[in-house]
Amino acid sequence: MTKKKIFAFLMLMLLNTCVNVQNKIVKIYEAEGFLGNLNQIKIINPKVEAVVSLSYPGTSIKITNLLNSKSIQLNNLQKTSVDGSRIVYVPESAFQKLNIDKKLPLVRIEDISNVKSNPTFIANKAEIFREERKVSNTSKVGNVEIAPLSSTESTKTELESKKIYLQFGSFYYSKFANELRNNLINSLKVKNIAIEGSSKNYYVTIGPISNINGYDSLYYKMKQNNYDGFKILVK
């Protein structure tokens, strides 16, 4: 088998993101983003524990507070078209169990439907390798991603000092980064937009954003102007 064929085979296996658990193939699903309250949306069934998007594959969900590592499991899910600014909606009781700071409700969600037979299996240890994409335009840059915090628990003082940043890129040419920055300034009426990085690796960063309300305001403005590809940084 040639080197090219071996490489192609390995990439195919990695992109499938499957893990063998006790001779059982388990599909990995996890995402990171902001937590929403069920009070924000209309839910008829009072037994619903969490509302997720239609694309969520599982029948149960593990939610982890990325600021303190506390987690809960919820089983009664409702799938519907949800607002893209939140990855899952839960009741107030879940906020309390996770000790969520509502100014920065950053969480990870995991599908644990298929791993009950092996409680030692941790989905977030599965690594996904993806070939880097070269961006040649400044209208859309893929999906929203999260760059999570350290796994160590944050103190109240540390938490209050953390801010949200929205990052586009990377861009091979500085002219594309400058074009996007100018377009964002004109569309969003926001001045705190910087170009970072170096030659052949430029980023456009919006921030700091003080809290989730500021993020929501910018999110909807960007959605209206078709800017839906950015990475969320919390630092």
The CATH number for 66's domain is: 2.40.40.50
**Token pair of 129 as six digits:** 């390798």
Sheet holding 231-234, edge to edge: 145-147, 231-234, 164-171, 201-209, 193-198
Q: For residue range 140-158, what is the model confidence (pLDDT) as tens digits?
A: 444 455 444 444 455 556 6
Whole-number average pLDDT of the chain: 77
Question: Is residue 229 located within the same domain as residue 149?
Answer: yes
Question: Is residue 153 located within the same domain as residue 94?
Answer: no
- Range in 24-33, 46-55, 79-88, 120-129 with the lowest mean pLDDT: 120-129
CB count in 10 Å sphere of residue 26:
21
189 DSSP 8-state letter: -
135 domain-assigned: no
137 domain-assigned: no
Q: What is the CA radius of gyration of the chain?
A: 19
**DSSP-H helix ranges across the chain:** 3-15, 92-98, 156-161, 174-188, 212-224
| Total tally of structural domains belonging to the chain | 2
Question: Is residue 153 located within the same domain as residue 102?
Answer: no
Question: Is residue 23 located within the same domain as residue 112?
Answer: yes
Question: Is residue 40 located within the same domain as residue 118?
Answer: yes
pLDDT surpasses 70 at 94: yes
pLDDT surpasses 90 at 62: yes
Question: Is residue 40 located within the same domain as residue 112?
Answer: yes
Res. 131 pLDDT band, cuts 50 70 90: very low
224 domain-assigned: yes
pLDDT surpasses 80 at 20: no
pLDDT at 17: 45
Last residue within a domain, chosen from 88, 123, 158: 123
Does this model's pTM top 0.95? My answer is: no
53 domain-assigned: yes
Question: Is residue 43 located within the same domain as residue 87?
Answer: yes
Helix (H, G, I), strand (E, B) or coil at 215: helix
Question: Is residue 99 located within the same domain as residue 34?
Answer: yes
138 domain-assigned: no
140 domain-assigned: no
Question: Is residue 23 located within the same domain as residue 116?
Answer: yes
| 53-57 contacts, C-beta under 8 A, 24 or more apart | 53/79, 53/80, 53/81, 53/82, 53/87, 54/79, 54/80, 54/81, 56/29, 56/109, 56/111, 57/27, 57/29, 57/111, 57/113
Residue 88 lies in domain: 18-123
Res. 233 pLDDT band, cuts 50 70 90: confident
Question: Is residue 38 located within the same domain as residue 72?
Answer: yes
**For residue 158, what is the domain's CATH number?**
3.30.70.1070
pLDDT at 117: 45
- Range in 14-23, 73-82, 190-199 with the lowest mean pLDDT: 14-23
136 domain-assigned: no
Question: Is residue 44 located within the same domain as residue 91?
Answer: yes
- Range in 79-83, 117-121, 166-170 with the lowest mean pLDDT: 117-121
Last residue within a domain, chosen from 57, 88, 123: 123
Residue showing tokens 């239609």: 54
pLDDT surpasses 80 at 179: yes
Rounded Cα gap, residues 44 and 57, in angstroms: 22
